[in-house]
Amino acid sequence: MDGLEQRLIVGALLLVAGVLASKLSDRLGVPALLFFLAIGMLAGSEGIAGIPFDDARLAQSLGVVALAFILFSGGLDTEWQAIAPVMFSGIRLASLGVLLTALGVAAFAHWGLDFGWAEALLLGSIVSSTDAAAVFAVLRSRNASLKGRLRPLLELESGSNDPMAVFLTVGCIRLLTEPGARGMDLLPLFLLQMGLGAVLGIVFGKLALAALNRLRLESEGLYPVLTLALVLATYSATVLAGGNGFLAVYLTGLVMAREDFIHKRSLIRFHDGLAWLMQIVMFLVLGLLVVPSHLAGVAGPGLLVAAVLMLAARPLGVFASLLLAGFSLREQLLIAWVGLRGAVPIILATFPLLAGLPHAELYFNVVFFVVITSVLLQGTTLAWVARRLGLQAPIEGRPERPLEFLPGRRTTSRLEEFEVQQGSKAAGRQIVDLRLPRTTLVVLISRREDYVVPKGGTVLEAGDRVMVLADVKDLECLSRLFGSAKNGD
Q: What is the pLDDT of residues 73-112, one digit of tens each?
A: 888 888 777 788 888 898 899 899 999 999 999 999 999 9
Cβ atoms 314, 339 nearer than 8 A: yes
Residue 373 lies in a domain: yes
pLDDT grade, residue 277 (50/70/90)? confident
CATH number of the domain that 430 lies in? 3.30.70.1450
| Dist. CA 22–CA 33, nearest whole Å | 8
Which candidate, 66, 65, 73, places its Cα nearest to that of 252? 73
Cβ atoms 99, 118 nearer than 8 A: no
Q: Are residues 246 and 177 in the same domain?
A: yes
Residue 385 lies in a domain: yes
Angle between helices 98-113 and 299-308 (to 10 degrees): 140
Q: Residue 398: pLDDT above 60?
A: no
Cβ atoms 139, 146 nearer than 8 A: yes
pLDDT grade, residue 401 (50/70/90)? low
Strand partners, 450: 447
Q: Are residues 348 and 452 in the same domain?
A: no
Q: Are residues 367 and 453 in the same domain?
A: no
DSSP state of 183: G
Strand partners, 430: 459
Q: Are residues 168 and 81 in the same domain?
A: yes
Domains: count for the chain: 2
Q: Are residues 361 and 246 in the same domain?
A: yes
Q: Is 98 exposed, middle or buried (0-12, 13-18, 19+ CB in 10 A)?
A: buried
Domain boundary among 360, 394, 428: 394
Cβ atoms 341, 37 nearer than 8 A: no
pLDDT grade, residue 132 (50/70/90)? low
Residue 403 lies in a domain: no
Residue 208 lies in a domain: yes
Residue 57 lies in a domain: yes
What is the tens place of the pLDDT at every residue in 241-254? 999 999 999 999 99
What is the tens place of the pLDDT at every residue in 350-385? 888 888 888 888 888 888 888 888 888 887 788 788
Q: Are residues 34 and 126 in the same domain?
A: yes
CATH number of the domain that 36 lies in? 1.20.1530.20
SS3 348: helix
pLDDT grade, residue 416 (50/70/90)? confident
| Residue type at 361 in one-letter notation | E
What does pLDDT average to over the chain?
83
SS3 356: coil
Residue 401 lies in a domain: no
Domain boundary among 343, 367, 394: 394
Q: Are residues 329 and 280 in the same domain?
A: yes
Q: Are residues 123 and 241 in the same domain?
A: yes
Mean pLDDT of 433-454: 85
φ and ψ at 407, to 5 degrees?
Answer: -70, 145
pLDDT grade, residue 489 (50/70/90)? very low
Angle between helices 132-141 and 150-160 (to 10 degrees): 140
Q: Are residues 335 and 202 in the same domain?
A: yes
Look at 27 and 158; give whichever has higher pLDDT. 158
Mean pLDDT of 181-198: 84
How far CA 409 is from CA of 204, 219, 457, 462, in Å, comes to 18, 18, 34, 35
Which residues constitute the domain of residue 290?
3-394
DSSP-derived secondary structure for 220-265: TTHHHHHHHHHHHHHHHHHHHTTS-HHHHHHHHHHHHHTS--TTHH
What integer pLDDT is reported at residue 235 of this predicted model? 94
What is the tens place of the pLDDT at every residue in 292-312? 777 777 888 889 999 999 999
DSSP-derived secondary structure for 57-125: HHHHHHHHHHHHHHHHHHHHT--HHHHGGGHHHHHHIIIIIHHHHHHHHHHHHHHHH---HHHHHHHHH
| Dist. CA 331–CA 273, nearest whole Å | 30
φ and ψ at 26, to 5 degrees?
Answer: -60, -40
| Dist. CA 466–CA 172, nearest whole Å | 54
Residue 407 lies in a domain: no
Q: Are residues 296 and 148 in the same domain?
A: yes
Cβ atoms 153, 147 nearer than 8 A: no
Q: Are residues 307 and 429 in the same domain?
A: no
| Dist. CA 16–CA 13, nearest whole Å | 5
Residue 249 lies in a domain: yes
| Dist. CA 372–CA 310, nearest whole Å | 12
Mean pLDDT of 179-200: 84
Q: Are residues 357 and 446 in the same domain?
A: no
Domain boundary among 394, 421, 437: 394
